Amino acid sequence: MFEAIVVFCALGVTDPSECVTAEDTRGPYETREECRARIDQMVQGISYMIPAPLNFYFKCGEPEPEGITL
């Protein structure tokens, strides 16, 4: 299972704390390919809503186990 996560920052931002994390609400996905397709959709949506130049970072990671607090 894979979970889609996209982090985006304004062009030129070097401090990660100034970036925004977008977490998918549709997943998790069975395959990495499905997850990557969802990331592409998320990036397109973000680019449409925020038409400024952005840097995107993303990953398809394993979901955190629910109900465990560290």
DSSP annotation of 64 reads: P
Number of domains in the chain: 1
pLDDT for the residue numbered 62:
83
pLDDT for the residue numbered 12:
87
Tell me the mean pLDDT in the region 1-8.
94
Q: Which residues contact 53 (CB under 8 A, 6 or more apart)?
A: 10, 11
DSSP annotation of 11 reads: T
Domain range spanning residue 39? 3-13+26-61
pLDDT for the residue numbered 19:
93
Residue 70 placed within a domain: no
Residue 69 placed within a domain: no
Rounded to an integer, what distance in angstroms lies between the CA atom of residue 69 and that of residue 42?
A: 28
pLDDT for the residue numbered 15:
86
Higher model confidence: residue 28 or residue 66? Answer: 28
What's the predicted TM-score (pTM) here? 0.79
pLDDT tens across 14-39, in order?
A: 888 899 999 898 989 999 999 999 99
Q: Which residues contact 31 (CB under 8 A, 6 or more apart)?
A: 2
Residue 19 placed within a domain: no
Residue 47 placed within a domain: yes
